[in-house]
Amino acid sequence: MKRRFSFLFILTLIALIFFFILRDSPRPPFAALTPLGENPQWEQLEKFQNSITKTEFQNLLEKVYTQDQIYQKYIKIFPTHAMIHTNSSDMQKSFRLNFSQEKNTKQNSNSRSSFGYWRKNPIQNSNPQLPLKGLRIAIDPGHIGGNYAKIEERWFQVDKTPPIKEGELTLTVAKILAEKLQDKGAEVFLVRTQTAPVTQVKPESFREVAQKWFNDRGRKNITETYRDPHDPDRGNSLQWRQEVLTYRNQEIRDRAKLINEKIMPDITLCIHFDAEYWGNPNNPILSNKNYTHVIINGSYMPEELHYNDVRFEMLFKLLSRTHSIEKKLGHTIAKSLAASTQLPATNYYLAGHQAKAMSKDSYLWARNLLANRLYQNPVIFLEAFVMNNPEVIARIHQGDYKGFKKVYGKMRKSIFREYADGIVNGLIKYYSDS
Ligand SMILES: [Zn+2]
């Protein structure tokens, strides 16, 4: 009896030790869903049954959407179908996607295709005066600007000159672009028209999610708030994480809702300005580099495929066949943007980003961004000008103007019009050729 008691006692002790070790050790970094990600409705892929051949599926997966063979852990390809794991925490569950035996031609229509709300050929009767008549375009001016520019870390100031806020530069380009596109006959919708968030959700709502994010990473000594945007301990505070979740993550999710459920455009243009590392926003490092490039959806990193929501969203994007338009349109716009701005291409290989080159000239890249993944239509994500380049700063400080002006030693258009003109020319070229 005594022996039995001590045996049980030791067993309990071992169990308790294990419990505390497991509780205190950092958990695996990956949950099955990304922060704020929703459980995928896999049945939404049913509409893609028998719509793609094995060859096309595998080509898109390997040449565009993934970086290496690790995808095979989640997606297994057989001669007649693919088996897709629907839950990384329970690898027994899967979705079966049947391949079609012959190439599908359904998407070559001007009506809303069975693959999505967008149309591949929205322009029916070519009209030289209104070359974009019939085209429905959403313009998404990147970031928010205004009072949110510091929170979203898209703000810097050189000496006492007016601060540079990316969210305001993108809005200026977007408004000029909208007008120019309407003049060419397009139907244009701005995702935001002010320097205010689209989302109505407030950072307070994300207290628990933020706490969990720190817990999952085994981060201790988390503070409640931070002093100001330059507080070096900012990244250790719940407030910072709650703001990131609101103005970067939820904001894009709400923009996606607006685009997918209300605007339902044929294409979306996301407008951004690029930058080199600037360090302290009150005393930014300036760069002599200046370049442009265009991003389309693809190049998912192996660890991203572990998330159920990301894997589902990638497959939805792949199966809805936005890629062929994104690639051709993206490259056409990139070329005309390069001509209009005279900017060289960004070398992502040097920058060390997880991107895949989609053209030999380095102007077109594939990357998995929340926006180009969640917007369910062909999305062209534009990056032009390095914001912390002195020439670019001088041009931004000139503001918008019509015609030409001598700025930084050269006669030129306003930086905003140069950006917008590059896009308009590319769109006209693409739609008049296709
Ligand atoms: Zn940006």
Residue 328 pLDDT class (50, 70, 90 cuts) = very high
Looking at the chain, the whole-number percentage of residues with pLDDT higher than 90 is 80
Sign of the CA dihedral with 115 first, then 116, 117, and 123 last: negative
What pLDDT does 43 receive? 96
Query: Is 30 within a domain?
Result: no
Helix (H) or strand (E) holding 366: strand 364-367
Residue 363 belongs to a domain: yes
pLDDT of residue 25: 39
Residue 114 has pLDDT above 80, yes or no: no
- Is residue 35 a part of any domain in this protein? no
How many residues does the structure list for the chain? 434
In this predicted structure, what is the pLDDT of residue 405?
Answer: 97
Q: How far apart are CA 146 and CA 167, in angstroms?
A: 7
pLDDT at 125: 81
Q: What is the predicted pLDDT for the residue at 8?
A: 57
CA gap 181, 138 in Å, rounded: 11
Distance, CA 51 to ligand 1 centroid (Å)? Answer: 35
What range does the domain containing 49 cover?
A: 42-433
Considering its fold, how many domains does the chain have in total?
Answer: 1
- The stretch 347-352 carries a mean pLDDT of 67
pLDDT at 23 > cutoff 60: no
pLDDT at 20: 44
In a domain? residue 137: yes
pLDDT at position 112 is 59
Neighbours of 52 (CB within 10 A): 22
Contact criterion met (CB below 8 Å) for 89 and 141? no
Pairing of strands 81-85, 94-98: antiparallel
| pLDDT recorded at residue 230 | 77
Is the pLDDT at 4 greater than 90? The verdict is: no
* First-to-final CA distance of the chain: 87
Q: What is the pLDDT of residue 429?
A: 97
Q: What is the mean pLDDT of the chain?
A: 90
How far is ligand 1, taken at its centre, from the CA of residue 213, in Å?
24
For residues 18-36, average pLDDT: 57
List, as ranges, residues with CB under 5 A of the ion ligand 1. 142, 272
Q: How far is CA 353 from CA 39, 212, 348, in A?
A: 28, 27, 6
pLDDT of residue 30: 53
Contact present, 301 and 170 (Cβ < 8 Å): no
Cα angle value 164/371/243 (rounded, 5°): 60
User: 214: CA distance to ligand 1 center in Å?
Assistant: 25
Q: Is residue 37 part of a domain?
A: no
C-alpha closest to that of 95 among 110, 112, 80, 82:
82
Residue 5 forms part of a structural domain:
no
Residue 279 placed within a domain: yes
Distance 381 CA to ligand 1 centre (A): 10
Is the Cβ–Cβ distance between 274 and 381 less than 8 Å?
no
C-alpha 154 – ligand 1 centre gap (Å) = 8
Pairwise CA distance, residues 33 & 86, whole Å: 11
The CA distance from 305 to 70, in Å, is 9
Q: Is residue 7 in some structural domain?
A: no
CA 38 to chain centre: 17
What is the per-residue pLDDT for 1?
45
Q: Which of 86-90, 103-107, 221-225, 279-283 has the lowest mean pLDDT?
A: 103-107
Distance of CA 329 to the CA centre of its chain: 17
DSSP code of 185?
T
Output the six-digit token pair for 177. Answer: 């672009």
* Short-list 130, 74, 138, 405, CA closest to 268: 138
Helix (H) or strand (E) holding 352: none
Rounded to the nearest angstrom, the distance between the alpha carbon of 252 and the centre of ligand 1 is 12
Average pLDDT over residues 389-405: 98
What is the CA(143)–ligand 1 centre distance, in A? Answer: 6
Q: What digits encode the pLDDT tens for the residues 194-239?
A: 999 999 999 999 999 999 999 988 998 999 999 887 788 899 999 9
- Measure 273 CA to ligand 1 centroid, in angstroms: 5
Q: List the CATH number of the domain containing 112.
A: 3.40.630.40
Look at 59-73, 112-126, 151-165, 215-229 and tell me which has the smallest mean pLDDT.
112-126
Q: What average pLDDT does this structure show over 181-204?
A: 98
Confidence check: pLDDT of 109 > 80: no
Distance 210 CA to ligand 1 centre (A): 23
Ligand 1 centroid distance, CA of 322 (Å):
22
> pTM for this structure?
0.90
